Amino acid sequence: MRLLIMGPPGAGKGTQAKGIAEHYGIPAISTGDIFRAISKADAATASDLALQVKDIMLSGGYVSDEITNQIVAERLAEADAANGFLLDGYPRTAGQVDALDQMLAANNTTLDAVVSLEADQEELVARLLKRAEIEGRADDNEETIRKRQEIYVEQTADLLKVYSDRGLLIGVDGLGEIDEVGQRIFAALDAKLQR
Ligand code: AMP
C-alpha cells in the first residue's frame, strides 16, 4: 500500500499518519521529521547539509527539491518501504510530485491513494488557540495560526488537484476523536482499495 497524507495544521495529521502506518504495517515517512533529525546534528560535527537544513527550517522556507527528492529516494529504497509506505509532508511542490512519479515508475509501482484530512478552518483556529493557551505558546497567536492555515491552502491546492484529477484523492472529515477519525480513514481506504 503506497499512500500520501495531507492535512492543514492542527488537523492531527502526524497522529493519524502513525495510526495508518500501524494499521497497515507500513512505515510512516515524514520529511519534516527527517529534516528535524538532520538539523539536530551537533554543531561541531554537523555536515554542510545539516547546517543548510537548519538555516532553511529556521527561516520557515522549504528545503530545495534537489535535496528533498534525494532524501526521499534514499528512504524509499530502504527495505521496510519495499511493500508500501505512507508519506507525510511530501510531495509539497510540483517538482516533488514529478520526482515521486519517477521514483515509483522506476520500481514499477504507483500510488494507491492520497488521504486528505479536511476540517473547518474556524474550528481548527479555535482548537490551536486553545492548545497554545494550555501549553503557553506565546508565538501561537491568532494571527500566526491563521497565516499558517492560509499558507497550507495556498501550497496544497495545486497538489490536491493533481491527485484528484488522477482519481487518487480521498477526503476524510478530520474533526472528532483521534480513534473516530482513524476509523473513518481506514473505512475510506478499504472501500477505495477494494474497487
Ligand atoms: P513539517 O514538519 O512537515 O512542517 O516540516 C518542517 C520543515 O521541514 C518545513 O518547514 C520545511 O523547511 C522542511 N520540509 C519538510 N518537508 C519538506 C518538503 N517536502 N519539501 C521541502 N521542505 C520540507
Cα–Cα distance, 5 to 20 (Å, whole number): 10
Number of domains in the chain: 1
90 lines ligand 1 (CB under 6 A): yes
* pLDDT score at 140: 79
Q: Which three cell numbers stand for residue 20?
A: 495508518
pTM attached to this predicted model: 0.91
**How far does residue 63's CA lie from ligand 1's centre (Å)?**
7
- Check if the beta carbon of residue 115 is closer than 8 Å to that of residue 20: yes
Domain with 135 in it: 2-193
Which position has the higher pLDDT, 34 or 138? 34
Q: Which atom of ligand 1 is nearest to the CA of 31?
A: 16
Percent of the chain with pLDDT over 70: 98
Rounded average pLDDT over 112-138: 91
**How far does residue 110's CA lie from ligand 1's centre (Å)?**
23
CA angle in degrees (0–180, nearest 5) for 147-37-124 = 25
Q: What is the CATH number of the domain that holds 65?
A: 3.40.50.300
CB contact set of 194 (below 8 Å; sequence gap of 6+): none
Rounded average pLDDT over 138-142: 80
